[in-house]
Amino acid sequence: MNLLARITMNPEQCGGRPCVRGMRIRVKDVLELLAAGETNEQILQDYPYLESDDIRACLAFAAAQADHAILRTAA
């Protein structure tokens, strides 16, 4: 299963920001919860419509976004 397929972007929803499965919870929201120290279990309890694979999808999306080349320009 492709985890990134769980991440959707719709210009009519959340300003086009990446969301989880078309719901109004942004990837950023999940990542901020994790960064604040929330566990997967706590997040799933507080957001019962989320699934464990949704959290993994957010992490995979963030990793993919961070993987870009830095082009060096001539000085």
Q: Which structural domain range is residue 30 located in?
A: 3-64
* 45: in domain: yes
* Residue 71 forms part of a structural domain: no
**Quick check: pTM over 0.75?**
yes
pLDDT at res. 67 = 85
**Residue in 40, 9, 7 with CA at minimum distance from that of residue 21:** 7
Spatial separation of the C-alpha atoms in residues 3 and 54, rounded to whole Å: 8
What total number of domains does the chain contain? 1
On whether the CB atoms of residues 55 and 40 are closer than 8 A, the answer is yes
Q: CA angle at residue 51 from 46 to 53, to 5 degrees?
A: 135
Tell me how far apart the alpha carbons of residues 39 and 45 are, in angstroms, rounded to a whole number. 10
The answer to whether residue 72 is domain-embedded is no
pLDDT at 1 (0 to 100): 64
Is residue 74 situated within a structural domain?
no
CATH number at residue 52: 1.10.10.10
Tens of pLDDT, residue by residue, the chain (75 residues)? 699 999 999 999 999 999 999 999 999 999 999 999 999 999 999 999 999 999 999 999 999 999 877 777 776
pLDDT at 69: 76
Say if 44 falls within a structural domain.
Answer: yes
* Residue 73 falls inside a structural domain: no
**What pLDDT does residue 18 have?**
97
